[in-house]
Amino acid sequence: MPMPPQNAFYAQSGGVTAVINASAAGVIETARQHTGQIGTVYAGRHGILGALTEELIDTSQESAATIAQLTHTPGGAFGSARYQLPRFEDNRAPYDRLLEVFQAHHIRYFFYNGGGDSADTCLKIAQVSAHLGYPIIAVHVPKTVDNDLPHTDCCPGFGSAAKYVATSIREAAFDLASMARTSTRVFLLEVMGRHAGWLTAACGLAAAQDGEAPHLLLFPEIPFEEAPWLARVEAAVQQHGSCVIGVSEGLRHPDGTFVSAAGGRDAFGHTLLGGVVPVLAQRLRSTLQLPCHWAVLDYLQRAARHLASQTDVQQAYAVGKAAVEFAVQGHTAVMVTIVRVSDQPYEWTIGMAPLEEVANKEKHMPLAFISADGFHITPACRTYLAPLIQGEAYPPFKHGLPEYVRLTNRAVPKKLRTAFTL
């Protein structure tokens, strides 16, 4: 007798992106095509917390048209969270609770949409659930604007953020050049990238020719030394009249400490950063007496769906779709990957990687992508980055503003009598 369809759990984790909801649409729409194997897709309200607290969202209550609109809506449609599961050996209570919720709601498929820490969560659930006798098919759906997941050519979310930062720094450079004679001479733009300088490198795409802004890039992979940097800024101002600098939030001193360390740590144990560009701007004012302006893109770079990359949107949907297809084939403890087939013309396909080779690992910028002086990108880096920002995927507009969808997010009735304390 065939086994009845089992339900699926989908959740979003960590910092969201402009296209993470496209992955959600890929998961939900594809699951609806596999009704013989997957029943209902339940979404976790605020990531894995939704499973622990039994706050599940019934996505079957959303129309096909509404789910389709997720492909052009930024943010996390079901809410995200930063929460790290402990080691099973240290505290098994969260795992017992997860399996209790999954059993109560007949959930056998687990799709977790996030970065490296989310890959760790997905792996733990696959391993522990099998160990405890209620095996869950767990597939990691990749996303991160940091582009630092291993075994995938790129990460959904990065291409759109890259397009946004490159556009922003190019437009700011035009503004700066207009005013530099009697006003600001240096502009610094801070972008995300705690340990990997992929978004900093993307700023470099704005310089189509030698001498164009940004004139300098500061990568986390290259230890920051003040004297040579000051010399290069001064030379750029003398040569071009102004200087535009793209800076990674994770810029480090030669001893490994962050230039902008603010003290404290986040839920995953990462050092909290306090903003590096105001620190650098102050040094420029005090040493070179140069008028400076700076900006921290922060949430803007990962929320800017109005300027998304068409390539990125397509890849984000594809990894969600593939996650379901891999799961119904029986693959577990894997991450969906993007495989580059060729650079010109740009072609890609879908693959998979074992989560044991992904969880808690980071892919840094290759030194071959950074110029010999450490202050810009190489042609090889341009070849890698350029296809990822290609294509426009504008959302619909209404009354002059982007029109995004808000789901009803109807809760699934709770079945457990006990609550879980986080």
Question: 319 and 254 in one domain?
Answer: no
Give the residue ranges of DSSP H helices in 132-221: 158-179, 198-203
Residue 365 lies inside a defined structural domain of this protein = no
Give the model's confidence band at 422: pLDDT under 50 very low, under 70 low, under 90 confident, else very high. confident
Residue 261 lies inside a defined structural domain of this protein = yes
Question: 232 and 106 in one domain?
Answer: no
Residue 137 lies inside a defined structural domain of this protein = yes
Query: Exactly one of 58, 90, 96, 146 is catalytic; which is it?
Result: 146
Task: Please report the pLDDT score of residue 266 as a whole number.
Answer: 46
Query: Which residues form the domain of 19?
Result: 6-144+307-360+393-402
| Contact between 9 and 47 (Cβ < 8 Å) | no
Residue 109 lies inside a defined structural domain of this protein = yes
Question: 131 and 61 in one domain?
Answer: yes
Average pLDDT of 296-310?
97
- 106: domain CATH number is 3.40.50.450
Residue 275 lies inside a defined structural domain of this protein = yes
- 239: domain CATH number is 3.40.50.460
Give the model's confidence band at 264: pLDDT under 50 very low, under 70 low, under 90 confident, else very high. very low
The tokens for 298 are 């922060």
pLDDT, averaged across the chain: 95
**175 is a catalytic site residue:** no
| Contact between 122 and 112 (Cβ < 8 Å) | yes
Beta strands in 227-370 (DSSP E): 243-248, 261-265, 271-273, 292-296, 334-342, 347-354
If you search the block for the tokens 């810029």, which residue do you land on?
Answer: 251
pLDDT tens by residue, 134-177: 999 999 999 999 999 999 999 999 999 999 999 999 999 999 99
Domain count, the chain: 2
pLDDT tens by residue, 63-119: 999 999 999 999 999 999 999 999 999 999 999 999 999 999 999 999 999 999 999
Question: 121 and 37 in one domain?
Answer: yes
Question: 228 and 284 in one domain?
Answer: yes
Q: Give the C-alpha distances (Å, rounded to integers) separating 292 from 180, 186, 215, 217.
A: 10, 5, 15, 16
